[in-house]
Chains A and B, each alone.
Chain A
Amino acid sequence: MTLNGWLQILFFLLAIFLVTPLLGGYMARVFTRRRTWLDPVLRPFERLVYRLTGVDETHDMRWTEYAGAVLLFSAVSMAVLYAMQRLQHVLPWNPQRFGAVAPALAFNTAVSFTTNTNWQAYGGESTMSYFTQMAGLAYQNFMSAAVGISVAIAFIRGIAQKEKDTLGNFWVDLVRATLRVLLPIAIVGALFLVSQGVVQNLRPYDKAALIDPQTVTTAGADGKPQTSVVREQTIAQGPVASQEIIKQFGTNGGGFFNANSAHPFENPTPLTNLLEMFGIFAISAGLTYTLGSMTGSRGHGWAIWGAMAFLFLAGVTVAYWAEARGNPMLTAAGADQTVTAMAPGGNMEGKEVRFGIANTALFATATTDASCGAINGWHDSFTPLGGLVPLANIQLSEVVFGGVGAGMYGVLVYVILSVFIAGLMVGRTPEYLGKKIQAFEVQMAMLTVLVFSLLILTFTAISSVAPTFGTSSVFNPGPHGLSELLYAYSSAAANNGSAFGGISVNTNWYNTTLGVTMLFGRFFMIIPPLAIAGSLSRKKHIPASAGTFPVTTPLFSALLVGVIVIVGALTFFPALSLGPIVEHFMINAGQVF
């Protein structure tokens, strides 16, 4: 580890700290329908959208109606995206003349982008037309993020309101999140990315003649080796910047190119790398301030922010240390992995030399703390402990800042559990910001937690013992192969979308089961929190007393961290011990997989 690396990590956290009140305060104004400085420009557009769609912005919804609207909107969006992929060969803006996407892959991708997962079982530049990328995938990047923000805001309203049966209007929240939060950021950010070299065009792909032609041997149709000489390279183009910016700020993660943020047309400079990492946390961090602002307890928002920042720092420290330490087998073989003026040292396999170890460890930690899933390095090539960090982050339900909105309603479920446990400790009915936490809220919180682990462990177990459709797609044997399977289903269930790699997932089994996992991981983790919000909203406000557990103190932050870690550890430690943990001990003993 180097001082330079740590300074960059701390600068990143400082930037997130500074943007939290700015963005959080702005979002609080937007969702409490107070005037903002963008009103003169955006309010006419907003009114036009309501008029065209017939939305009554004064109508408030019960939690069931709100949840129904979320489901209806997502179902229609998913169906349209599926149809768009299946029909892309007859739709415009397809200069490469890509054919229709296969049904299983189209299903997986439609689910993936609708659920804010952005798991990609395809290479963007070799599968999707510009029309599908723009009107299908980039559109969903906005909409799925806006759905997440809307649900989080509904949850916050449920906590803040007193004796009210409604949570707001989903359609209004959706429009406001898109028009007033995501679009302004995306427009400014995309222009910045273009200024740094991210491409934005609708041209057919370029070709470059190779100075040094390469002789390549591949297997022919008859299985026999065939040798050919490659004399030119195809250079993919496209409307990248407009998709890249929302991919990061919407914590979507689905890259225009297969190499994602390691591709120089997606992430060309250290400055774009910083912006892309900043984008992953910015809105989610801001929502902690929005929570404090809307509930009248800013201290509570900061207490949650503190717990998240602690977990983030713990994760990035382990990942950075493990990657900077390098591969012990190379050390044993006599390789020098120390940092010098000419060498980055450590484990550079799978890392972009432009970003190095600190920025790759930071990116990997941030993208899995949140439900982003963008990558600027290959997680499969991390050391076992370095790879454990992104995997464990995902399995903590991605509540360390988390996905836009999803991180907020996810952490609020843990807050409910923390307050409940604190209440049990002192023998009083637990209260949370003046609301009694009773059996129903805890039942819903537990449903959220249990669905998540059930999905991951069940499908991983089936895939790891099925040689015909499960393990046949896994490239690495032993614990590393199990890590790859565990990561895939964890990523799908948590709607992260990053891949550990090492599995050929474009098969009917993986496309279908990962698709189903993403659906349950999204909507069965949205419905219980909305039910909690609906229940809390109806309750009377109870003034704080001597027996009330304060939720604005470092003690509360520590309890929240403890609950998140203990629930995650109890659920996933056995599986992790068979994957990256045993791999760590075996690599030290001289065996790799």
Chain B
Amino acid sequence: MLNGSGVTWEARATPVAVRRCSVLDLLFVGVGALFFVVSIGYVAACDRLMK
């Protein structure tokens, strides 16, 4: 039997932990940014090879 809408789920009762920006956030944003900088360099290197 379905309880229908308005039911609660276990997670609803769980207090939501408000997490602050962590060192890992900075690390992963940094890794992502570094990758795209390297990619721009790769584009430039390929273009130079073409010329």
Q: A: which residues have CB within 8 A of B? A: 63-64, 67-68, 71-72, 74-75, 78-79, 82, 86, 89-90, 95-100, 103-104, 106-107, 110-111, 203-209, 234-235, 440, 443-444, 512, 515-516, 519-520, 523-524, 527-528, 531, 534-535
B residues less than 8 Å from A534 (CB atoms): 47, 50
Can you show 16 pairs from A to B with CB atoms below 8 A apart?
A64-B47, A75-B36, A86-B19, A90-B18, A97-B16, A99-B16, A100-B18, A103-B27, A111-B32, A204-B12, A209-B1, A235-B2, A515-B31, A523-B35, A531-B46, A531-B50
Residue of B nearest to A534 (CB): B50
B3-45 vs A, Cβ < 8 Å mask (1 yes, 0 no): 1111111111010111100101101110111011001101110
A residues less than 8 Å from B36 (CB atoms): 71-72, 74-75
Partner of A204, one of B8, B24, B27: B8
Q: How far is the CB of A197 from chain B (nearest CB, A)?
A: 15
Chain B interface size, as a band, is: 35 or more
Q: State the main secondary structure of chain A at its contact with B.
A: helix
Q: How far is the CB of A268 from chain B (nearest CB, A)?
A: 16
Contact A519 B35 (CB under 8 A): yes
Contact B7 A204 (CB under 8 A): yes
What's the A-B contact tally at a CB cutoff of 8 Å?
Answer: 112
Contact B50 A97 (CB under 8 A): no
Q: B: which residues have CB within 8 A of A? A: 1-12, 14, 16-19, 22, 24-25, 27-29, 31-33, 35-36, 39-40, 42-44, 46-47, 49-50
B residues less than 8 Å from A443 (CB atoms): 49
Seed contacts A64-B47, A206-B4; 4 additional CB < 8 Å A-B pairs: A75-B32, A79-B32, A82-B32, A207-B3
Contact B2 A89 (CB under 8 A): no
Partner of B40, one of A68, A96, A203, A205: A68
B residues less than 8 Å from A519 (CB atoms): 32, 35
Partner of B28, one of A68, A100, A104, A234: A104
- The 6 A-B residue pairs whose C-beta atoms are closest, nearest first, are A103-B24, A107-B28, A531-B46, A75-B36, A207-B3, A89-B16
Contact A68 B43 (CB under 8 A): yes
Complex CA–CA separation, A574 to B2 (angstroms) = 53
A residues less than 8 Å from B19 (CB atoms): 86, 99-100
Contact A204 B18 (CB under 8 A): no
Complex CA–CA separation, A228 to B4 (angstroms) = 25
Partner of B39, one of A86, A203, A207, A523: A523
